[in-house]
Structure 1
Amino acid sequence: MNTAQNLATAQRGRWAVAGLFFLNGFLVGSWAPQIPELATRLAIRESTLGILILVFGLGAMSFMPLSGVLMSRYGSRRVGLGFACACVFALLAVVSAPNVPLVAIAMFFFGGVVGAMDVAMNSNAVAVEKKLSRAIMSSSHGFWSLGGFVGGGLGGLIIQNFGAFAHAVSVTIALAIMLVLAARYVIDDKHPEASKQKKPMRLPRIASVYLVGAVALFAMIPEGAILDWGALYLRNELGVSIATAGLGFALFAGAMAVLRFVGDRVRNRFGAVQTMRISCLIAAAGIFVAGLSPWAWLVIASFAVAGVGIANIVPIAFSAAGNQPGISASTGMSVVTTIGYSGILLAPSAIGFAAEHVGFSWVYIALSVPLIVVCACAELVRAADFQPDRQIAGPEMI
C-alpha cells in the first residue's frame, strides 16, 4: 500500500474513531437525564443512588484493565468494536430493570462496557495520531462531548414527553445505527506485543505514567460530579424542570465540544503544559461559581464555563499517556484511563453521601480545589508535546 493509500486509510480511520467517541458520549449524555428518573422510579435517596453509581464505577474499573490486556493481543479495533456492540444495549438494560438489585447488576455491566470501550477508542485515536503524524486527541474528545451534548439535550425532552423507557429504546436504535456506520473504517492497529513471545502480565515500572494518571484523576472528579449530580442539583435544590435540569450537562458537554475541536491547534501553539494550566484555572472558576450561585441560570452558565476549562485537560493527559517512553500506547492508556476514570466513576458516589448532609453547593465549591492541584502539576503532561513527522502528514483537518 503506497503513501497516498495509507493516508486515505488513516483519514477514514480518523472519522471512524470520531464516530466511536460520539457514540460513547451520546450514550453517557443520554444517561445523565435518566438519573433523576431512576431515583424517582425506584423511590431511593441520594445515598442509595450514590451506591448504584459506585457500582457503575466498579464495573468500569474492573473492565478497563481487561480492555488493555485484550488490546495487547487483538488490537484496539477488535476490542473497541466488541465493547461498542455491548454498549448499544447498556442503557436499555438499566432502564428495564425492575428493582434495585437488578439495576445494580445492569449498572455494573453498563459501567464495564462503557469504560472498556473508552480505553480502546482512546488507544485507537493514538494509533491514528501516529499514522497521520499529528495530534487528534482533543478533537476526538470533542466528538465525545458533542455526543454528550446531543444525548443530554435530547434526552430530557424525550423523557419529559414520552417517558424513560421510550427514550432508552430510541437511544438503543440510534447507537446501533452509529456503530454500523463507523465499524467498517476503524483502523486495525497491530500491536507489537501480539507478535512477540508472551510475557507475564505486570504493571509498568515507570513512575511518570502513574503521575499522569493522578493528573487525569483530579481533573475528572469535577467532570463526574457534573455528569452524575448536576441534573439532581438543579432539580432538587434549585427547583427547575427535568428538561431544564438536563441542560446543565448538555451545555457543559457542548462547551467542551467546541473547545475540544480547537484544542489540538491551541496545544500546538501554546504547548501542552501551558494549555493545561490555563484550562485548569478556567475550570476551577466555573465550578466554584456554580456552587455559590442561588440562580439556576447562573449555575447552568457556570457549568458551561467549567466545560470550557475541562475540555482539553483530559485529552492532553491521555495523549501524554499514549506517548510515554518505554511502554506501549495501550499499556500507558490502560493505566491512565483506569486511574483517571476512577475520578469520574467512583468519586460521584462519595459526592452523593456528602451532598445528602451538606448540600450540592458546598460540594461544588470544594471540587474547585483538585483543579488547582492539577494546575500546579501541569509539567507532568509534557510528553503530550510529541513532534509529528511532517513528511508523511496529510492535510490539516479536525
Structure 2
Amino acid sequence: MSRPIRTIAAAAALLLAAACNSASTSGEPADKSGSSVRGVTADSIKVGGIVSMTTASGYSKKDTDLGARARYERANAEGGVHGRKIEYLGAEDDGQDPGRNLAAARKLVQQEKVFAVSPMSSVTFSGADFLERQKVPTFGWGTVPQFCGPQYIYGFGGCMVPTPGGTITQSWPEGLAQVLGGAKGKSVAILANDNDAGGFAIRTYRQGFAAAGFQVSYAKPIVPATSLPSDWSAYTKEILRSAGGKAPDAVVSVMQTPYNIGLFTALKRAGYRGLLTDPTDYDPGLLAKSATRQALDGVHVLLSFEPFESDSPAMTRFKEDIRKTAGKDVPLNMHMMTGYMSADLFLAVAEKAGEKLTVDSFQKAAASYSDTGTMVGDRDLAKGRKEAFGCGALVRLKNGAYEVSSPFACYEPIPFG
C-alpha cells in the first residue's frame, strides 16, 4: 500500500473510531453525576492493573496486586478521592508475554472502561503505545523504556531507564562503593539477559559504575532470556578471569531471581569470594527454601525504596495496610511495594486533580506534582519523565535475614550519554 493510501486509510479509521466512540457515549445513560469520563462516576473511579503473575521461568510478581489492593483499600476506608471510592478490578496476568500484555491493556480500556491502569508491572510492556494513544494514566515501576517520555505513563520512582538528554541514577554504584570502602581500584563484572532490556541495562550500568570510579572489567548481555542455562560454567569462567586474569571485586547481575540463583551458586562453587549484587532478590519468601537461602546468602540487593527494616511512620503504615488486606502476617517483598507505591502516586495525583476528575484535569495535576519524604524519596513527575528520583539503599542477606548494608539515600545523578 502506498504512503498516501495508508495515510487516507489511517485517517478514515480514526474518523470511524471517533464516530463509534461518539455513538457509544450518546447511547449510554449518563451516570448520576452526568460524567461521560471513562471509568469515573459520581461515587467511583475504576482502576485495573497488569502484572506478570506467571512467567516461563517461574518468577512471579503476583504480590504487586496485593500491594496495590492494600493501598486502595486504605484510601477507600478514609473516604476515597473527593468522595469517590476506588473500584479496583485487580490485575490482569500478562504471563510476561508481549501479546498478552497488549491484550490485557485492550481489555481493561475497551471492555472494563477503566480510568487508569495502576499498577503495571512487567518487563514486557507492549501495551504502552495503546494506553498512551487512549490517554490512560498508567503507573508502575519505571524499569522499562516505555515509562520514559510518554505523557500518560508514570514511574513511581521516575524514569529508571535513562533516555537521551536524561540522567543515570547512581544509587547502585555509590551504595556498593560504600560497602567496599570506596570504588578506587575496584573492578566490577556486569551480566544481563540477551534481550533489549539486558542490552540497555549493560549500557547504562557500564557508564554508571565507571562514573563512580569502578573499573568495569566485564559487561555483557549474553544469558538467554527465554530459558535458564543448565550449565553456567561458560559465564563463570569468563567472569572469573575478567579483571586482568583475576576475579573482579564485585559481580553485578541485572537479572531475575531464578537466573541469579543459578549464577551465584555457580560462582560460589567455583571459589568466588567477592561481592555479589542484584536488583531483584529482596524477598523474605525466598528464605523459606534452604537451597535458595544458601544461594543468595551474602548477596547485596539494590532497593529503590526504603527498606522494610526501617521504622519510619510511612513504613509502619505500609506494613499495617498489607497485613490488613492479606488478613494475616505475610512475608513482605518488593512486588508489594511496587503495587503499593504505584497506587499511592495515582491517588496523590487524583486528589490534586480536584472534584471534577477528567483525564485533562488529572494530567494538569500531574504536570506540576511533587512531594517529599516518601518511601521512594522526593517525587517530581515533571522530572520523572526523563530521570529517576535517584534514591536507593542496599540490603544484604546474612544468616537467613536481611540487614541494611547501605542506608536509603538520594544521590546526584550523572548525564546519560
TM-score (norm 1): 0.26
Question: Whose helix fraction is larger, Structure 1's or Structure 2's?
Answer: 1
Using CA pairs under 8 Å that are at least 6 residues apart, name the structure with larger relative contact order, 1 or 2.
Answer: 1
TM-score (norm 2): 0.26
Identify the structure with the greater strand proportion: 2
